[in-house]
Chain A
């Protein structure tokens, strides 16, 4: 049986504006993977380590965060903070002998752009390669 990953995306309002276009249908039309559940947050700087870990506890096979460009965050340093928390979770996954690639950070421009879809496609492909989360009992 083929593996359908469950991926959780935390994205700031600005980088995920595309999710609102065409009444939320545009992302699907552009090929954004259906395996991804999008959680929009005002700023990725507010996403805590515990939030990212909880996503794995809730059954995610992969987790990623999309925030503003490093030098262009709406809240100045929010996406940089998010990247550091993603890095902390990567380290913790390694300590548990789990692939650190199950969590990633992307810095993308705001608005309508193909990179947002491309990041989703890349994560979907990577998690399919890695297989189911080892945290699934």
Chain B
């Protein structure tokens, strides 16, 4: 899922300080699962906006809504349900949702309530960890399913750096050295020798260094 966390309230209050009516718009997709921007978090944010504005001596009307997702045109279209009831939207979706609203609602000012952080999973209740960098050139078949792009601090492609000590990363002792884990995991399958193959210089153009990326599936397109 896409993992995110709420921006500091001071930042959000600064965004809406000149508004008299805002729509706090939750997303029932990834950010609901990571408890950053679902209906419950949007309700808390709406309350905090009202309180924050009141503290500044201003009044603001905050209404709440939610979309199934904010990354599909069909769902963005349903924002019409609140037509005429707000000056701006405060989206609790990830950055994709904010962009989609901006793309599709030319007349609507939209503000992000979250900082979108990474593609990750729930390590345990209340803790999410980064697992994928969306680099566009997956090497997981070579690394035992563990990603060196997202999970190595230096995104190294040919084994650990000299800072790996006792299976821990030099940037943070609480972070595993993913190359140690790749070695151990490949070893458990008797495939350590895979690590002897030298990975060529990586083409990072698929990672966004060639500009915004696009996926086209002609078989799914209508026109």
| Residue A137 interfacial (CB < 8 Å) | yes
| Residue B185 interfacial (CB < 8 Å) | no
Q: What separation, in Å, do the CA atoms of A97 and B8 have in the docked complex?
A: 11
Q: Contacting B47 at CB < 8 Å: which of A57, A95, A134, A136?
A: A57
Given A92-B9, A92-B48, answer yes or no on A98-B40 (Cβ-Cβ < 8 Å): no
| Residue A50 interfacial (CB < 8 Å) | yes
| Residue B153 interfacial (CB < 8 Å) | no
Chain B residues, Cβ within 8 Å of A56: 51
Residues 2 to 55 of chain B near chain A (Cβ within 8 Å): 8-10, 13, 40, 43-44, 47-48, 50-52, 54-55
Determine if A95 and B9 form an interchain contact, defined as CB atoms under 8 angstroms apart: yes
Contact flags A94-124 to B (C-beta < 8 A → 1, else 0): 0111100000000000000000000000000
| Residue A53 interfacial (CB < 8 Å) | yes
Determine if B50 and A96 form an interchain contact, defined as CB atoms under 8 angstroms apart: no
Dominant SS among interface residues on chain B: helix
Determine if A135 and B44 form an interchain contact, defined as CB atoms under 8 angstroms apart: no
CB distance from A41 to the nearest CB of B (A): 17
Q: Contacting A54 at CB < 8 Å: which of B47, B55, B57?
A: B47
Chain B residues, Cβ within 8 Å of A97: 10, 55
| Residue B59 interfacial (CB < 8 Å) | yes
Q: What separation, in Å, do the CA atoms of A98 and B55 have in the docked complex?
A: 9
Determine if A95 and B8 form an interchain contact, defined as CB atoms under 8 angstroms apart: yes
The count of chain B contact residues (Cβ–Cβ below 8 Å) is 16
Q: What separation, in Å, do the CA atoms of A136 and B59 have in the docked complex?
A: 11
Residues 199 to 218 of chain B near chain A (Cβ within 8 Å): none
Residues 42 to 70 of chain A near chain B (Cβ within 8 Å): 48-50, 53-54, 56-57
Determine if B40 and A48 form an interchain contact, defined as CB atoms under 8 angstroms apart: yes
Residue in chain B with minimal CB distance to A95: B9
Chain A residues, Cβ within 8 Å of B57: 137
Q: Contacting B54 at CB < 8 Å: which of A48, A50, A54, A137?
A: A137
Chain B residues, Cβ within 8 Å of A49: 40, 44
Residue in chain B with minimal CB distance to A88: B44
CB distance from B200 to the nearest CB of A (A): 47
Q: Contacting B48 at CB < 8 Å: which of A48, A53, A136?
A: A53
Q: What separation, in Å, do the CA atoms of A96 and B49 have in the docked complex?
A: 9
CB distance from A54 to the nearest CB of B (A): 6
Give the most central of B10, B43, B44: most A CB within 10 Å. Answer: B44
CB distance from A119 to the nearest CB of B (A): 24
Residue in chain B with minimal CB distance to A137: B54
Residue in chain A with minimal CB distance to B43: A50
Q: What separation, in Å, do the CA atoms of A108 and B13 have in the docked complex?
A: 37
Residues 81 to 108 of chain B near chain A (Cβ within 8 Å): none
What are 8 contact pairs spanning A and B, CB under 8 A? A49-B40, A53-B48, A57-B51, A96-B9, A96-B55, A97-B10, A135-B55, A137-B57
Residues of B within 8 A of A (CB): 8-10, 13, 40, 43-44, 47-48, 50-52, 54-55, 57, 59
16 additional A-B residue pairs with CB within 8 Å, beyond A96-B51, A96-B55, A97-B55? A49-B40, A50-B40, A50-B44, A53-B44, A56-B51, A57-B50, A92-B48, A95-B9, A95-B10, A96-B10, A96-B48, A97-B10, A134-B55, A135-B55, A137-B54, A137-B59
